[in-house]
Amino acid sequence: MATVMNPGIPYVGGIPGGMRDGRQIVINGTVPHHEHSFSINLQTGPNINPRSNTALHFNPRLNDNCVVRNSYQHHSWGGEERGGYQPFQRGMPFEITILCQHHHYKVVNNVNLGEHLNNFSAQTSYANTELNGSRCCRY
C-alpha cells in the first residue's frame, strides 16, 4: 500500500498499478473552516486544465448540503448526480474509502462506522487521483 502524507493542495498523483475491480483508495482530511466544498477526482491522466477524462468527480458541497457526483469524458461533463447523505462539516476530520467494483465505485464514510454514502456507475478506468482539500491518501 502506498501512502501520500500532507500533500500540497491541489494534489495530483498516480495510483501505483492503477485502479481495477477490488482495489480501493482511502482519503483522510479535514474541511478547512473557510471552505464551502472539497473534491476528489479519479481520472485517467494528470491534467487539471484542460482536465483529463475523469471517471469519478466526488464533490461534497457544504452550503448546499449535498454531494455531487459526475464524470468528465472527452471535454464534457456527464449528467450530474446530487443527493445522498452529506456528513462532512467544516473543521471536522473525515476518512473516505472509494472501492472500485465491477461497474461502479462505492464511496464509504469511515468516520461514521463505515457509513455507505454513494455508488457511482463506472464510466472508464483510471490511474490518477486529484485531491482538493484532503491531507492524506492511501492506495
**pLDDT tens for each residue of the chain, 139 residues long:** 678 888 778 888 888 877 888 888 888 888 888 989 999 988 888 888 888 888 889 999 999 999 999 999 999 999 998 877 788 899 988 888 888 887 788 888 876 555 555 666 655 555 555 556 555 455 4
Residue ranges of alpha helices (H) inside 1-137 are none
Which residue type does 70 have?
N
Instruction: Give the pLDDT confidence score for residue 77 in this predicted structure.
Output: 94
Give the global pTM: 0.82
Instruction: Give the whole-angstrom CA distance, residue 81 versus residue 139.
Output: 25
Class (C level, CATH) for 3-138 = mainly beta
Instruction: Give the whole-angstrom CA distance, residue 86 versus residue 18.
Output: 28
